[in-house]
Amino acid sequence: MIDIQKIRAEFPILKEQVNGKPLVYFDNAATSQKPQVVIDAIVDYYSKINANIHRGVHTLSQVATDAYEEARIKLQKHFNAKKSYEIILTAGTTHSINIVATGFTSLLKKGDEIIVSALEHHSNIVPWQMLCERTGAILKVIPMSTSGELKMDVYEELLSEKTKLVFSNHISNALGTINPIKEIIDKAHAVGAAVLIDGAQACPHIKPDVQELDVDFYVASAHKLCGPTGVGILYGKEEWLNKLPPYQGGGEMIETVTFEKTTYAGLPHKFEAGTPNIAGGIAFGVAIDYMNSVGFENIAAYEDELLVYGTEKLLEIEGLKIYGTAEKKAAVISFNLEGIHPFDVGSILDKLGVAVRTGHHCAQPIMDFYKIPGTVRASFAFYNTKEEIDVLVAGVKRAQMMLS
Ligand SMILES: *Cc1c(COP(=O)(O)O)cnc(C)c1O
């Protein structure tokens, strides 16, 4: 069970007013808010232990290194990775995807095929297009249905010996669809292809088990699950991380350097060149602890209640259409009012203190599919309430009155 009053009290921003109205924050799919423990972790780090890691012999450097490596262990346990060095700390999902996409340049040849889902975020499309340009590989797309679900029968037809890589998000940020990733992974493995799953949108709602999924790469950003911006993870199976070349050269990622030849450090340091976001990494670990203390089962059940309630209330509005009606769906509602531009709805909601996202949500191909310029997207988190949904619904009604 979620003790909503207790949880809300832990997020200082929820007491803020925006445009003279209490903040109703429904842009959680873009970034989540931060509980006090995460904010404290960042302040404490800079106030008490700030030092560079993995280098100094002095005490603070060792304390900082221990705290940073402890965060890695927390992440290893959370995602159930076999080894802690299979967890690479990165700047976030986009960075993680680019490490893999760039690394595959030397592993692909002309005519090889890469499959991506039609539900992708731009950060999961563009790096693969760039990879295809570099290698002559061909990009294929798993199409989607009007409900926002992937056509798995077409996926099966696309798979062949030529398929080297498959990419899908775990949950679509634009529509909320929960994709059948276990099936995607197993079918790809049957033809010998590797799979990368973008978990940026899934990790705030569910706890993935990378060994059970048998996934080759899994990526996520801390800021979507109550952690700070600018830090994330790349989980990779040890054998894959060993096959991939380093992404960036620099300090920390080397074993020995001479002007003739440099040898690279082992995992995870091979992929962690330069001074990382140390405070961010530590706070990421704290955010994971916090989310686990609330409990992912509780979070999922409560958010599902919000989703059902919000869907029902919004659909009572005449002329409102919801995009993305998959059977398995996370707490994201993408919608439009007939004849009204989503941006105008979003602007009126903002004046009422309600934060939603409007636009294409970094997923233009999905908007093209529905032939719309964008949607209004309300995405819920476990610290939101039904009362806040009522404020949203009243605001949407008001926008409709003012704009039609
Ligand atoms: C937010 C998001 C990303 C990008 O994450 P960054 O933290 O901006 O790198 C990628 N994929 C999905 C599904 C997302 O929701």
In tens, the pLDDT along 340-360 reads: 999 999 999 999 999 999 988
| Residue 177 DSSP label | B
**What pLDDT does residue 364 have?**
86
201 lines ligand 1 (CB under 6 A): yes
* Least reliable range by pLDDT among 45-49, 120-124, 234-238: 120-124
pLDDT for 125 beyond 90: no
Kindly report, residue by residue over 266-311, the tens digit of the pLDDT. Answer: 999 999 999 999 999 999 999 999 999 999 999 999 999 999 999 9
Q: Enumerate residues 6+ apart whose C-beta is below 8 A from 15.
A: none
Q: Which of 94, 39, 46, 81 is nearest to 67 (CA)?
A: 46
Tell me whether residue 190 is exposed, middle or buried, using C-beta atoms within 10 angstroms of its C-beta: 0 to 12, 13 to 18, 19 or more: exposed
Going by CATH, does the domain composed of 39-292 fall within 3.30.420.40? no
**What pLDDT does residue 75 have?**
98
CA separation for the pair 267, 276 (Å, rounded): 15
Give Cα separations from 356 to 57, 346, 353 (angstroms). Answer: 48, 6, 10
Q: How many other C-beta atoms can be found within 10 angstroms of the C-beta atom of residue 191?
A: 15
- Closest residue by Cα to atom 14, ligand 1, is 200
8 A C-beta contact, residue 157 and residue 110: no
The atom of ligand 1 lying closest to the CA of 91 is 9
169 lines ligand 1 (CB under 6 A): yes
pLDDT for 114 beyond 80: yes
The atom of ligand 1 lying closest to the CA of 223 is 7
28 lines ligand 1 (CB under 6 A): no
Centre of ligand 1 from the C-alpha of residue 97, in Å: 10
What's the mean pLDDT in 137-148? 95
What's the mean pLDDT in 365-388? 95
Tell me whether residue 192 is exposed, middle or buried, using C-beta atoms within 10 angstroms of its C-beta: 0 to 12, 13 to 18, 19 or more: exposed
Centre of ligand 1 from the C-alpha of residue 305, in Å: 25
8 A C-beta contact, residue 292 and residue 227: no
pLDDT for 1 beyond 90: no
The atom of ligand 1 lying closest to the CA of 170 is 13
94 lines ligand 1 (CB under 6 A): yes
Tell me whether residue 81 is exposed, middle or buried, using C-beta atoms within 10 angstroms of its C-beta: 0 to 12, 13 to 18, 19 or more: buried
90 lines ligand 1 (CB under 6 A): no
Banded pLDDT at 252 (limits 50, 70, 90): confident
- Active centre residues (catalytic): 362
**What pLDDT does residue 123 have?**
74
Centre of ligand 1 from the C-alpha of residue 56, in Å: 34
200 lines ligand 1 (CB under 6 A): yes
Q: Which of 27, 122, 123, 225 to mutate to test the pocket of ligand 1 (most atoms within 8 A of CB)?
A: 123
Banded pLDDT at 251 (limits 50, 70, 90): confident
Banded pLDDT at 173 (limits 50, 70, 90): confident
Banded pLDDT at 332 (limits 50, 70, 90): very high
Domain extents in the chain: 4-28+295-403, 39-292
Q: 6-29 as b/e, with b when 16 or more CB fall inside 10 Å?
A: ebeebbeebeeebeeeebbbbbbb
**What pLDDT does residue 237 have?**
98
**What pLDDT does residue 223 have?**
98
Q: Which of 338, 358, 360, 336 is nearest to 347 (CA)?
A: 358
Question: Which residue in the block uniquely carries the two structure tokens 């699950």?
Answer: 225
* Least reliable range by pLDDT among 52-66, 143-157, 221-235, 256-270: 256-270
Give Cα separations from 249 to 100, 130, 161, 268, 380 (angstroms). Answer: 15, 20, 34, 14, 40
| Residue 150 DSSP label | B
The atom of ligand 1 lying closest to the CA of 172 is 13
Q: Tell me if domain 4-28+295-403 and domain 39-292 are identical in fold.
A: no
**What pLDDT does residue 260 have?**
84
The atom of ligand 1 lying closest to the CA of 94 is 9
**What pLDDT does residue 311 have?**
98
Bridge partner residues of 113 (DSSP): 138, 163
Centre of ligand 1 from the C-alpha of residue 99, in Å: 15
pLDDT for 379 beyond 90: yes
**What pLDDT does residue 37 have?**
98
Banded pLDDT at 385 (limits 50, 70, 90): very high
* H or E element that contains 65: helix 59-79
**What pLDDT does residue 31 have?**
98
Give the whole-number percent of the chain exceeding pLDDT 70: 100
119 lines ligand 1 (CB under 6 A): no
Q: Which of 362, 366, 377 to mutate to test the pocket of ligand 1 (most atoms within 8 A of CB)?
A: 362
pLDDT for 255 beyond 90: no
pLDDT for 256 beyond 90: no
What's the mean pLDDT in 144-152? 95
Centre of ligand 1 from the C-alpha of residue 319, in Å: 31
Tell me whether residue 61 is exposed, middle or buried, using C-beta atoms within 10 angstroms of its C-beta: 0 to 12, 13 to 18, 19 or more: middle
pTM recorded for the entire structure: 0.96
Centre of ligand 1 from the C-alpha of residue 339, in Å: 30
123 lines ligand 1 (CB under 6 A): yes
357 lines ligand 1 (CB under 6 A): no
Centre of ligand 1 from the C-alpha of residue 225, in Å: 12
Options 3.10.129.10, 3.90.1150.10, 3.40.1390.10, 2.30.42.10; CATH of 4-28+295-403: 3.90.1150.10
303 lines ligand 1 (CB under 6 A): no
**What pLDDT does residue 52 have?**
93
Kindly report, residue by residue over 187-235, the tens digit of the pLDDT. Answer: 999 999 999 999 999 999 999 999 999 999 999 999 999 999 999 999 9
The atom of ligand 1 lying closest to the CA of 120 is 13
